[in-house]
């Protein structure tokens, strides 16, 4: 009996050791992200708030000033003036790319993203997270005067007219602009290109929030 119990105990310990090795291996496989390096102060910083400030006009002006490239990370996007500014930039030869939250784009009837895609602007839908909650515009990251806009402000009329929102406009800081462009590219690599028609295959869209 003692021999049997000792053998059982040894088997259990071996199984426990194997399990611990497996856990250690899985933890080691988790990618470790280094702390991001701080970016040097450069250029100018402007802040704006709603209600009160014409945040939409500031975003439209930044897009209108683009010479080479406009990258947009969007959650909810329904603002017609911002959509028209992107369409106009595309028509005059600026490279415009939009990476939008999948659920908001497919579930909001008033979303501006499908029309942008149908007009030939490259659009990607991001359904890889609980929410692709970014609100970012990067203009001419490699240009002489890059601009990065970010904050809580969704590209919607509600954000302009009804909500308490904020944006930060960082001009002439190439390090910040390139960092946001690199972030855009990382998300884009795992997102789904979309033509603007129908529901693309993949995960079902989340309910709009």
Q: Which residues are known catalytic residues?
A: 133, 135, 140
| Rounded-to-10 torsion of CA 58, 107, 206, 131 | 0
Cα–Cα distance between 134 and 182 in angstroms, integer? 14
Cβ distance 150 to 79 under 8 Å? no
- DSSP element (H, E) containing 79: none
Query: Closest by alpha carbon to 154, among 53, 63, 78?
Result: 78
Cβ distance 108 to 76 under 8 Å? yes
């Amino acid at each position: 009996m003692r021999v049997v119990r000792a053998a059982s105990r040894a088997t259990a310990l071996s199984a426990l050791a194997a399990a611990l090795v497996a856990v250690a291996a899985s933890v080691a496989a988790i990618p470790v992200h280094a702390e991001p390096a701080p970016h040097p102060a450069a250029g100018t910083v402007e802040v704006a708030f709603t209600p009160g400030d014409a945040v939409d006009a500031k975003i439209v002006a930044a897009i209108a000033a683009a010479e080479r490239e406009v990258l947009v990370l969007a959650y909810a996007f329904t603002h017609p003036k911002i959509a028209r500014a992107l369409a106009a930039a595309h028509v005059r030869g600026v490279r415009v790319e939009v990476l939008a939250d999948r659920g908001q784009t497919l579930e909001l009837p008033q979303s501006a993203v499908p029309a942008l895609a149908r007009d030939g602007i490259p659009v990607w839908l991001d359904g890889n997270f609980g929410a692709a909650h970014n609100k970012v515009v990067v203009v001419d990251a490699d240009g002489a005067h890059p601009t990065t806009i970010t904050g809580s402000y969704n590209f919607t009329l509600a954000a302009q007219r009804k909500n308490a929102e904020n944006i930060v406009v960082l001009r002439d800081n190439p390090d910040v602009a390139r960092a946001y462009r690199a972030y855009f590219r990382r998300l884009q690599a795992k997102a789904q290109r979309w033509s603007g028609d129908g529901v693309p295959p993949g995960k079902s869209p989340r309910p709009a929030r």
